[in-house]
């Protein structure tokens, strides 16, 4: 009986941390749905009569939501298909590396857009 209890406790101590790590607390489908709703709301808001600064802030929020969505998809792929490596890909693509590179490129593009918007707003004369 004592051996069975120790075996059960040892098994649980090994299985439970793996389960917690694998789920990370959020359901990817719920997270993606929430991101989609937020994105649609921001798209609708940006079409309203807002000034340039407000539209820029909404665009930044949209990019953050897109980044979050890509991170969620990436993490879901890692959890669902941890065994898939580049050599196993039909196209010889390392999906995770490409996703990470895309996120870096997206961030760089946003920074360039911010710089351009700052330059263009500084060049425009103030309207009396």
For residue 109, tell me if it sits in a domain: yes
- Domain limits for position 84: 27-123
pLDDT value at position 59? Answer: 84
For residue 7, tell me if it sits in a domain: no
Largest CA distance in the chain: 87
How far is CA 22 from each of CA 77, 78, 81, 125, rounded to the nearest angstrom?
Answer: 11, 9, 12, 54
For residue 34, tell me if it sits in a domain: yes
pLDDT value at position 34? Answer: 92
pLDDT value at position 24? Answer: 53
Radius of gyration for the alpha carbons in the chain, expressed in angstroms and rounded? 23
Q: What percent of the chain has pLDDT over 70?
A: 71
For residue 17, tell me if it sits in a domain: no
Q: pTM, whole model, 2 decimals?
A: 0.60
Residue 119 is encoded by which pair of tokens? 């330059």
Q: Is the pLDDT of residue 9 over 60?
A: no
For residue 6, tell me if it sits in a domain: no
pLDDT value at position 17? Answer: 43
For residue 3, tell me if it sits in a domain: no
């Amino acid at each position: 009986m004592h051996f069975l209890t120790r075996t059960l406790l040892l098994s649980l101590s090994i299985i439970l941390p793996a389960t917690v790590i694998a789920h990370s607390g959020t359901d990817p489908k719920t997270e993606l749905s929430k991101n989609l709703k937020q994105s649609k709301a921001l798209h609708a808001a940006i079409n309203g009569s807002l000034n340039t600064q407000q539209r820029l802030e909404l665009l930044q929020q949209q990019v953050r939501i897109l980044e979050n969505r890509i991170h969620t998809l990436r993490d879901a792929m890692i959890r669902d298909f941890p065994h898939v490596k580049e050599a196993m890909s039909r196209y010889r693509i390392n999906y995770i590396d490409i996703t990470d590179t895309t996120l870096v490129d997206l961030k760089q593009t946003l920074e360039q857009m911010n710089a351009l918007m700052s330059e263009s707003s500084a060049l425009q004369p103030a309207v009396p």
